[in-house]
Amino acid sequence: MKFIPLLCLIPLLTLSLHAQDTAEKAREMTTNLEKIESLIDKTIKELREAVEQLTRISTESDKPRDAFEDFTDQLKDYKDVQSTLADRIDHFRSIADTRFADWEKDLAKMEGDLKAISQTRMNKAKKEYSDIDKKVRTIGAKLTKAVDKLQEVQTYFTTELNSASIQAASKVTDAAKKSADDVMQTLEGMKADYRQLKADTSENSTKSKD
């Protein structure tokens, strides 16, 4: 029976551990993309419900107090989930940076056709991620603007809540709702971008576009 010297096994063990670590980081990237998608859905839901409660203030202007309190609660829920989404996206940025840095290191260990293929795949994924992140930073400013408008409406109705004040502010509240609708559409687009990035980088994806 032949025995393999222990020193010969060390490089194999090192390679195995590195491969496991790389795979784990790739899965972590996928998991966080899934969490971002879920949080985007929740953000849209909370924002849509806030707009619905704001509309109720107008339709129930003879007794608007219940609708206003529901709007106030819903606005808080929306701001909370938006903050959670922003934190998750920030966390994902560090995960993506680490993933691409590891990919670069692995490229240095390849050569020939496989290296060229992997380099092309990495460049595609990095560009896709970079483009998404630029959009997200722009969307962040739009989200803040929409929240500010809704918050201003809340402050207005906190000061005076009756049929006359509701009617007087109708154009402003309509503009706030329009801004929120624009944000919801933008968030749907952002979710689609993150989903495509997941399809292009996840080991569990079905079929990604080349």
CB atoms within 10 A of CB 32: 20
Closest of 197, 191, 190, 201 to residue 135, by C-alpha: 190
Give the C-alpha separation, 40 to 47, whole Å. 10
For the 12-200 domain, the top CATH level (class) is mainly alpha
Per-residue pLDDT of the chain (210 residues; tens, 9 = 90+): 454 454 554 454 444 544 565 667 778 888 899 999 999 999 999 999 999 999 999 999 889 999 999 999 999 999 999 999 999 999 999 988 988 898 888 888 888 999 899 899 889 988 988 998 988 888 888 888 889 999 999 999 999 999 999 999 999 999 999 999 999 999 999 999 989 888 887 766 544 444
Task: Give 124: exposed, middle or buried? Use CB within 10 Å, 0-12, 13-18, 19+.
Answer: middle
pTM reported for the whole predicted model: 0.80
Amino acid at 78: Y
Those residues with Cβ within 8 angstroms of residue 101's Cβ, 6 or more apart along the chain or in another chain: none
Task: Give 85: exposed, middle or buried? Use CB within 10 Å, 0-12, 13-18, 19+.
Answer: buried
